[in-house]
Homo-oligomer: A and B are copies of this chain.
């Protein structure tokens, strides 16, 4: 039994007093950040029910939908990330956490298909094993906002095969394919062979697909290549490059596309073909990624947070870069 005198008497709770009482009993929590998260969560959850006069059937349908999302999730499928993606939450959380100065590469959604078993390959390797895919040579550099190359960045790269499926979506997957890890060299360069990305539907055989259908939304993503950049001291960059002219360029089911991330695919000339051991006239993608330091991003994020919270009329302070109510 709780002994603190701050705990309210939980009796005769009603539409009007359930929210402050739930918040008060959760306030026994010692962690101010979690306390704040729970306070906002309970407030929004209850306001949602009050503003919609949520019916018992709708409530039950929603809870069963959530069970179904959990049931279909596995080591290689995260239906709740997908749900977060199609509700715009993933894009929002990424934007909050990884603000970008104008000169740096913008982020995009992670999606549910990154894995941790991709092989680290040397520059020039072919990460694709799909014979139907159209070979694509990618020549990239990683720089800082002052234009200096960044060496030793770990880069995760992943894309679908030519049928629009990630390797993990094939039940007979033996080993990673169309994915690899590279490390930028002393000039910030990394280059590899993949295949031309194709548009594809996000997994729509589960509850999220059914929701999209009910909402009369399509489930397609425009063709893209995923990239994730990691190096101690640098802001973790999750992004993707989108092929210009895709029919879903302006209607991505998961809201990931940014103008600055739309790229043109060209053709390898004779010199490039020779240098990179690639057929002349083959498809070529050249791109420069610009990373920000962890410090730059944290400073920008903290400033943005305090500005946005003040604009919302909230009096907050940052503890470990996360807002909590400023009660002093």
Contact = CB atoms under 8 A, between A and B. Distances in A.
Contact of A59 (B1, B47, B93): B93
A81 B64 CA distance: 9
Contacts of A92: 15, 18, 46, 49-50
B10 A56 contact: no
A88 B51 contact: no
Contacts of A47: 44
Interface in A6-64: 7, 9-15, 18-19, 21-22, 25-26, 28-31, 34, 36-38, 40-42, 44-56, 58-59, 63-64
Contacts of A51: 40, 309, 312, 314
Interface stretch (A156-164, A180-188, A247-255): A247-255
A53 B89 contact: no
Given A10-B252, A29-B217, 6 more contacts: A1-B220, A11-B250, A14-B95, A50-B92, A63-B84, A67-B79
Nearest to A9: B250
Contacts of A69: 66-67, 70
Q: Is the interface of A mostly helix, strand, loop or mixed?
A: helix
A11 B92 CA distance: 13
A174 interface: no
Contacts of A89: 45-46, 49, 59
Contacts of A36: 52
A96 interface: yes
Contact of A10 (B10, B78, B255): B255
| Number of chain copies forming the complex | 2
7 contacts: A9-B251, A18-B88, A22-B87, A28-B215, A36-B52, A42-B88, A49-B96
Contacts of A231: none
A5 interface: no
A95 B87 CA distance: 28
Given A36-B52, A70-B70, A88-B42, A12 B258 contact: yes
A99 to B, nearest CB: 9
A172 B21 CA distance: 38
A80 B67 contact: yes
A232 B157 CA distance: 60
Contacts of A171: none
Interface hub of A13, A51, A81, A323 (most chain B Cβ within 10 A): A51
A241 interface: no
Interface string A201-222: 0000000000000111110100
Contact of A53 (B26, B94, B252, B305): B305
User: What 8 pairs between A and B have smallest CB-CB spacing?
Assistant: A70-B70, A22-B88, A44-B44, A28-B216, A63-B80, A9-B250, A29-B215, A53-B305
A13 B255 contact: yes
